[in-house]
Amino acid sequence: MTERFLTGRTALVTGSTSGIGLAIAATLGAAGARVIVHGLGSTEEISHAEQTVRDAGAASAHFLPGDLADHVAIEHLMQQAGPLDILVNNAGIQHTAPIAEMPPAQWDRILAINLSAVFHSMRWALPNRAARGFGRVINVASVHGLVASVQKAPYVAAKHGVIGLSKVAALEYAAHGDRSSGGITINCICPGFVETALIEPQIQSRAAHHGGDRDAGIRDLLGEKQPSLRMALPDDIAALALWLCRREAHNLNGAAIPVDGGWTAA
């Protein structure tokens, strides 16, 4: 049974109706947290996400909407959420195209959701934590916050920005709290390839060139970037996020932690 060390804590996980975000929400719930679910999806998908988090053992789980491209909507979301102990900024979007062909509207929307929303949510969440001596912000950046890839200019720019922004916040709040309270930390998790529904079409496309062998398709896809030749699972990312919430993590602050199978080691 998971140690319920987050009993009495409240967590907001953006983009938590599926994938990595849902895994993080469920894992925090299993440790006893009250979890606010947020993200896109049909009524059924949202209800399923809430139930998944409850079934994991969350003290409570309920959904709050909020368009992360709109700072007024973010303020409303944060006001509805109330005081938070844990903020996980996981939501993000992607659009690939060469710089010369990138639609300006896509650039603006990706920067708004992937970077500006992180600023606006932290701006609301952190001052309240300073007085209480405990707070965790976990920003799910990306390996693309550490290295670049072609045709991903807004995504790479946003994720590099998230890491820089997180370092500034970590410095500003590092002295609040103490070892006993757990302090306030702001860190980034930087996943490489993670096995989610979003990446499944790429896997199947590569598998088709190997007689339908899915594992061969994964190795083919990852061979270009990820030396381990295996993907992380959403639960792997969630386990790291959970550890960052422990009091023992009070001095791990301002870090960008790669979970990339060696991608950034070269």
Residues designated as active site: 155
72 by DSSP, 3-state: which?
Answer: helix
Q: Are 52 and 39 in contact (CB under 8 A)?
A: no
- Among 187, 248, 194, 239, smallest CA distance to 28 is for 239
Phi, psi of 67, rounded to the nearest 5 degrees: -80, 110
> What are the percentages of helix, strand and coil residues in the chain, rounded to 5?
50, 15, 35
Give residue 75's identity as a one-letter amino acid code: E
Taking the C-alpha atoms of residue 195 and residue 210, their distance in angstroms, rounded to an integer, is: 19
Q: Tokens for 156?
A: 């790479």
Where do runs of H (alpha helix) occur along 194-258?
200-207, 214-222, 234-244
Taking the C-alpha atoms of residue 53 and residue 55, their distance in angstroms, rounded to an integer, is: 5
89 by DSSP, 3-state: which?
Answer: strand
Q: Tokens for 122?
A: 């932290």
Taking the C-alpha atoms of residue 220 and residue 169, their distance in angstroms, rounded to an integer, is: 39
Max Cα separation, the chain? 59
Q: Are 18 and 50 in contact (CB under 8 A)?
A: no
Taking the C-alpha atoms of residue 49 and residue 155, their distance in angstroms, rounded to an integer, is: 26
Residue located via tokens 């916050």: 145
